[in-house]
Chain A
Amino acid sequence: MTTSDATANEGELQPSVILTINGLAVNAHKGMTLVEAAWHAGVPRVTSVGCMEGVCGSCRVMLRRGKEVTVGLACQTFVEDGIEAVLLPPASAPQHHYELSDFKDGWDIHARFQDIFPEASRCRHCHGCDNACPKGITVENGVALAVAGRYREAGDAFFECVMCELCDVACPELIAPAHVGLFSRRITAHFHQRPPNLIHRLEELRQDKSGTTQEEKDE
């Protein structure tokens, strides 16, 4: 059985790796993630961590290997010799505001979208967002689909989005692609998911049949 101490990786037998995290020299072991390495070395203020399995998008990190600079998720990045990692602060509050309850009708969504995300149509196809995305999402194309009013397809493109908002940071036009993606997904559900099996059960409950099955009614 693995014990709690071992959750910070039982790397003793692994060769050691030297890197920097938040400017501090860190001694780690091969096979550790950056998060484990930071804890292992006692790097202070490492609280932008949640799931440790690449699904919550909190552990945003900037990585420098020589001249090359990339971004990623610290819990999904393994230590490498000489790499410089800087854990990024939480994203600032979004600049695009809407409440779904304000939308009365699916027909004017496209007009509303242009009001809420006016920058989206100014995408300069720089691939900044695609390069930043740790999930390999075709962000740029997703934005283009939304701009074309194809919200279902746009939303599908963002299916594996983990809300890290690294694409928002990368976007020179401040389009907030992550929120474009979420908007597309949300209005698709809000206006178009009308599942008959659910609706039928809701209607039964409304008529207070209490959702009993036929046999139970016969009993």
Chain B
Amino acid sequence: MSNGIPLAEALARYRPDADLGPLPELTDTDTLLNAYHPDHLRGSVVKLAVGANAGDSCQRDLAGLLQSEAFIDEADLAGTPVTDIDVLVIGGGGAGCAAALMAAEKGARVLLATKLRLGDSNTVMAEGGIQAAIEPDDSIQRHIQDTLRGGHHAGDPALVSAMAGDGPDVLRWLIRQGMQFEQTPSGDLHTRRAGGMSAARLVHCRDYTGLEMMRVLREAVIQHRSIEVWEQSPAVELLSNELGQKCVGAVLTSLLDGQLRIVRTRSVILATGGLGRLHLNGFPTSNHLGATGDGLVLAYRIGARLRELDSFQYHPTGLLHPSHLSGKLVTEGVRAAGALLVNGLGRRFIDELLPRDMVCAAILRECSEGRGIRIDDQRVGVWLDTPRLERANPGLLEQQFPNLMTRTRVSGIDPRLEPLLVHPTLHYQNGGAVIDTNGATTVPGLYAVGEVAGGIHGRNRIMGNALLEIISFGRRAGIAATANRDRGPKKVTLEHVNRLRRALTLAGMPMTQRAPQVLPAYAAGGVWNR
């Protein structure tokens, strides 16, 4: 991409008080999405050949991981220490912690195993807020409609109703755990309206909503008598019964010493989050280091059905500059507060509060049609006009977005004076494991909650629904997994791995690649070395 307006020229032209011209009318959203959204990049989608979704469309890089060789063999299981537990939760973000707390509350002994440190997650990075229909002019029904519409009607209405209906009680539960939210002077929860919402529904803790949620849940989990936590312990395989048809545990490794451990259990709750660190289609990402899609790989190998494997959310406003923050997010809250998007010609080009996929496609269109702002041959973006916002509302950035201000200050950038250069960034996995309203997957004994699960956001998520989903379904799965009181596994096997191997051989697929990825290649210099 060599076209675009050079940075210096665009900066010289930029004025926070310039007339931005009329907003061009958006006539055909389908054409915009088809032409510019990364999901529609030519060659980026393939058909899966084996497994529960054989024949379905799937993003190419992800398909490679879903149809790959495992790390673990029967030989690895012999002599490996075994731990027995009622409920195993894999993943220590918001969804995993909510599930663990609920299971423990219902009387289960819980083991929570997580890849990095407890709380190293996408949850901790969430800024904008969590949705719940609590305002008088809002309703559960409207929340459901907005979510389904935002997802292009590809979501599962039963899951969406369950989540939206849980919203107010999720807030109560979080407050009981000790989470603080922004309040109005009269004590109401402060709400904002963001993209795709028909009412003000975004509840938040300034722009640290995820951090506040995560540090509270992390503390609650650490303090809980019935929950044991293993950090630096990624799951590398699930375990099945003799028939390969039920999930009865998992194999964990240790990033510290490489030791394998077997966990035998009645119920496994997968809460491994998203996959931004796979850098699909070569995009930068907003995600934390551990977001490598492991849960999808593990679930698929044991036979669980997945959905919307060709639909990802690229957040419109990832930072393009400075480079060490490449892909990091400027929360949508900033646009919700009134910040506009401006191209290199000093023009607005899209309604900033349209659903994310459209805003993202519109930015990519500006960039590819030469109206972007170019830093160098590889990096082109558009302005997020924060100085104009500051002019209209002096002090607002400092007051409401301390996180953004702190991050940019470290790099010597002041968003009150200079507009931020932004470009879409790989942000969220819209699909995931097929679940029911208990978070149960299509494989008995296996639950999936949070970003690893699918069906709620259809083909596009609106802001604030992820944080709601992780608590709503995390709690549901924690309860359901505990209710499973069968006698537990007699034998743990890798029968499901053998089954997938046979299928791959039959399909003539190579088994050169191993998965799950666990860490991105550039960070994998440690014990975890393939």
Interface residues of A (CB under 8 A from B): 1-11, 31-33, 36, 39, 42-56, 58, 76, 90, 93-94, 97-100, 135, 155, 159-163, 179, 182, 185-190, 193-198, 200-202, 205, 210-213, 216
| A residues in contact with B49, CB < 8 Å | none
The answer to whether B216 and A5 have CB atoms under 8 Å apart is no
What are 18 A-to-B residue pairs whose CB atoms are below 8 Å?
A: A4-B279, A7-B522, A50-B116, A50-B288, A50-B290, A55-B125, A56-B214, A90-B231, A93-B222, A94-B222, A98-B223, A160-B402, A162-B215, A189-B180, A189-B181, A193-B181, A195-B134, A198-B134
B245 in the interface (beta carbon within 8 A): no
The answer to whether B120 and A50 have CB atoms under 8 Å apart is yes
The answer to whether A212 and B1 have CB atoms under 8 Å apart is no
B466 to chain A, nearest CB (A): 16
| A residues in contact with B326, CB < 8 Å | 2, 6-7
Chain B stretch 277-326: residues in CB contact (< 8 A) with chain A:
279, 282-285, 288-290, 320, 322-326
Task: A99 to B224: give the CA distance in the assembly, Å.
Answer: 7
Contact for A31 among B191, B215, B324, CB less than 8 A: B324
| A residues in contact with B169, CB < 8 Å | 202, 205
A92 to chain B, nearest CB (A): 11
A46 to chain B, nearest CB (A): 6
The answer to whether B328 and A185 have CB atoms under 8 Å apart is no
A22 to chain B, nearest CB (A): 11
Task: A99 to B176: give the CA distance in the assembly, Å.
Answer: 11
Task: A213 to B1: give the CA distance in the assembly, Å.
Answer: 50
Max chain B Cβ within 10 angstroms of own Cβ: one of A32, A197, A216: A197
Task: A189 to B117: give the CA distance in the assembly, Å.
Answer: 25
A21 to chain B, nearest CB (A): 11
Contact for A213 among B117, B137, B290, CB less than 8 A: B137
The answer to whether B119 and A211 have CB atoms under 8 Å apart is no
Contact for B142 among A3, A31, A194, A213, CB less than 8 A: A213
| A residues in contact with B290, CB < 8 Å | 50
Whether A195 contacts B181 in the complex (CB less than 8 A), given A1-B282, A1-B379, A50-B120, comes out as yes
Task: A7 to B525: give the CA distance in the assembly, Å.
Answer: 16
Task: A3 to B181: give the CA distance in the assembly, Å.
Answer: 37
The answer to whether B525 and A42 have CB atoms under 8 Å apart is yes
The answer to whether B1 and A1 have CB atoms under 8 Å apart is yes
The answer to whether A216 and B141 have CB atoms under 8 Å apart is yes
The 8 A CB mask of B171-198 against A (1 = contact, 0 = none) is: 1100111111101001111010000000
| A residues in contact with B423, CB < 8 Å | 1-2
Task: A42 to B524: give the CA distance in the assembly, Å.
Answer: 8
The answer to whether B279 and A7 have CB atoms under 8 Å apart is yes
The answer to whether B327 and A213 have CB atoms under 8 Å apart is no
Task: A5 to B378: give the CA distance in the assembly, Å.
Answer: 12
The answer to whether B279 and A31 have CB atoms under 8 Å apart is no
A43 to chain B, nearest CB (A): 6
A119 to chain B, nearest CB (A): 17
B170 to chain A, nearest CB (A): 10
The answer to whether A193 and B379 have CB atoms under 8 Å apart is no
The answer to whether B403 and A39 have CB atoms under 8 Å apart is no
Task: A46 to B189: give the CA distance in the assembly, Å.
Answer: 40
